[in-house]
Amino acid sequence: MLLDDRARFIEIIEAFHDMSRATVVSKGPEAVVDFLDSPLAGQLSAMDFLRTTAELLNRPIVLEDELCAVLFQSGLDIEQMLRYPQSRLRSVGLQQESFELAGEQWIQRQVTVRGRRVGRILSPLWKETALLAVVLEKLSRTLEEKLPGRVDQLELLRQELLADSVAELRGKKRSSEKAALVRLSLYGMANAEEFIPVVLCFAEGQGGSEEQLLLIRRLRAAFRRKSIPAVVSHDLTQWPEAIGIVVAAEGLGAVPNLLQKIYQVVEDECSFDFWSMGVGDSVESLHAVANSGIDDAFRVARGALSIIGRHKKYYRAHDLGFRWIIQSLAATSEGIDFVRDQLEPLKSDPELLDFLEAYLNSNGNIAELSRSIHLSRPSTYARLRRLQEEFGLDLESADTRTSLHLALAMHRLMEI
């Protein structure tokens, strides 16, 4: 559970206590009954509702779909998570009211939506068996009102838990890699030999957080439809203009094909005009990919976003050339001074600045430059003369061209 989520639970539970205007039990089945009867329960999303119920219950809760796939769980320890799939396989399924998990008896209740059976809610038996029946019945009935009937929408609950499991590896109170891998396996992402860090980076002003959250939901749904084993989350990065993706690959041979599929999905689902996709190195460690891997992928994506006329579908560090190195320099006072010294006279004329960049990118080839910017050769030569005479730029000097190229690349990075 992320610290922000924990703070949200505290706010919700405090709101529940304020609304109840009565002395309530802070934890346990009686507290859950009070919560389920409160107006607040009906106002929460399905995920917040389940998490708050689990927090109040102080006992494990599992929500499954009709195929026994775990959509939500709270309170299972590592041993229970490891044993859970086999315990469920040994049970009959929807027709069996209880099963045993790690020496403890569990009970289940069906969850239906508009008469259609969509899954079940499960929890260990308590000593207060009568109260247990009341809690599960109320919980199931409330879930019927909150959960959409479409299975692909139910899947979004599981996707949120997958994202939390990986994001927790980046938090201040980091979970262990073993615990994170066990949770991924429980939620259906197993048998990964390599993990690939991917980051989508957006230009500043390309929509707000709501637009990005909508894109995350669309990507999760599309990845599921195409059977792409990927975790998508805004919490995987520390930057507001980026979305993190961790891809599970069954061996290095599967990586190129997976990345092509991911890029195509993003291209189909993303409505932003300016975005880039950066890819870090594939590694076996989930902890490494969730931390340094995602950080490196962001640097790649951010560097790629600064390249005018990008031609690759996705970028790796070696595709950026010197842009990979200068990103840290662009954020320093020395880098800012360097850009100002090189480009300050030209900043008042953005069109001429773009022309200079196109000239440097064409390696001084006038024919190629004229075609790329749709100018006649006489007009192209006129602008070059202006750069040389009005601004004193010696474009025949290799040192001058190198300095200008670096300054322009840093300037584009600063603009992102």
| Most distant CA pair in the chain, distance | 91
Q: Which of 149, 181, 214 is the last residue of a domain?
A: 149
Domain count, the chain: 3
> 328 and 315 in one domain?
no
For residue 38, name the pLDDT band (cuts at 50, 70, 90). Answer: confident
C-alpha span between 412 and 307 (Å, rounded):
8
For residue 10, name the pLDDT band (cuts at 50, 70, 90). Answer: low
Residue 155 lies in a domain: no
Q: Which of 88, 116, 149 is the last residue of a domain?
A: 149
For residue 94, name the pLDDT band (cuts at 50, 70, 90). Answer: very low
| Residue 287 pLDDT | 93
| Residue 278 pLDDT | 95
> 328 and 316 in one domain?
no
The mean pLDDT value of the chain amounts to 83
> 247 and 306 in one domain?
yes
Does 176 score more than 80 pLDDT?
yes
Mean pLDDT of the region 78-101: 75
> 291 and 216 in one domain?
yes
Q: Which of 320, 349, 368 is the last residue of a domain?
A: 320
DSSP 330-354: HTSHHHHHHHHHHHGGGTT-HHHHH
CB under 8 A, 24+ apart: contacts of 122-130:
122/61, 122/62, 122/63, 122/64, 123/57, 123/59, 123/60, 123/61, 123/62, 124/59, 124/60, 125/98, 126/29, 126/59, 128/29
| Residue 234 pLDDT | 87
Residue 191 lies in a domain: yes
Does 19 score more than 60 pLDDT?
no
In the chain, % of residues over pLDDT 90 = 28
For the four alpha carbons of 226, 230, 236 and 242, in that order, the dihedral sign comes to negative
> 187 and 120 in one domain?
no
- The 10s digit of each residue's pLDDT in 312-325 is 889 999 998 888 88
- The 10s digit of each residue's pLDDT in 246-295 is 999 887 677 889 999 999 999 999 988 889 999 999 999 999 999 999 99
- The 10s digit of each residue's pLDDT in 214-252 is 999 999 999 988 989 999 998 888 888 899 999 998 876
Residue 45 lies in a domain: yes
Does 116 score more than 60 pLDDT?
yes
| Residue 279 pLDDT | 96
Residue 129 lies in a domain: yes
C-alpha span between 166 and 161 (Å, rounded):
9
> 180 and 78 in one domain?
no
Residue 367 lies in a domain: yes
> 205 and 58 in one domain?
no
Amino acid at 167: A
> 330 and 296 in one domain?
no
Does 310 score more than 70 pLDDT?
no
The residue written with tokens 């509702």 in the block is 49
> 168 and 52 in one domain?
no
Residue 363 lies in a domain: yes
Of 60-64, 128-132, 250-254, 381-385, give the lowest mean pLDDT range: 128-132
Residue 29 lies in a domain: yes
Indicate which CATH number applies to the domain containing 359: 1.10.10
- Tell me which residue of 243, 248, 74 sits closest to 161, measured CA to CA: 74
Domain that residue 23 falls in:
3-149
C-alpha span between 84 and 242 (Å, rounded):
35
According to DSSP, the β-strands at 242-249 and 104-113 are unpaired
In the chain, % of residues over pLDDT 70 = 87
- The 10s digit of each residue's pLDDT in 362-379 is 888 888 888 888 889 999
> 243 and 139 in one domain?
no
Does 398 score more than 60 pLDDT?
yes
Q: How is residue 374 written in tokens?
A: 């749709």
> 351 and 231 in one domain?
no
Does 96 score more than 60 pLDDT?
yes
C-alpha span between 63 and 51 (Å, rounded):
11
- The 10s digit of each residue's pLDDT in 182-204 is 999 999 887 788 999 999 999 87
> 135 and 10 in one domain?
yes
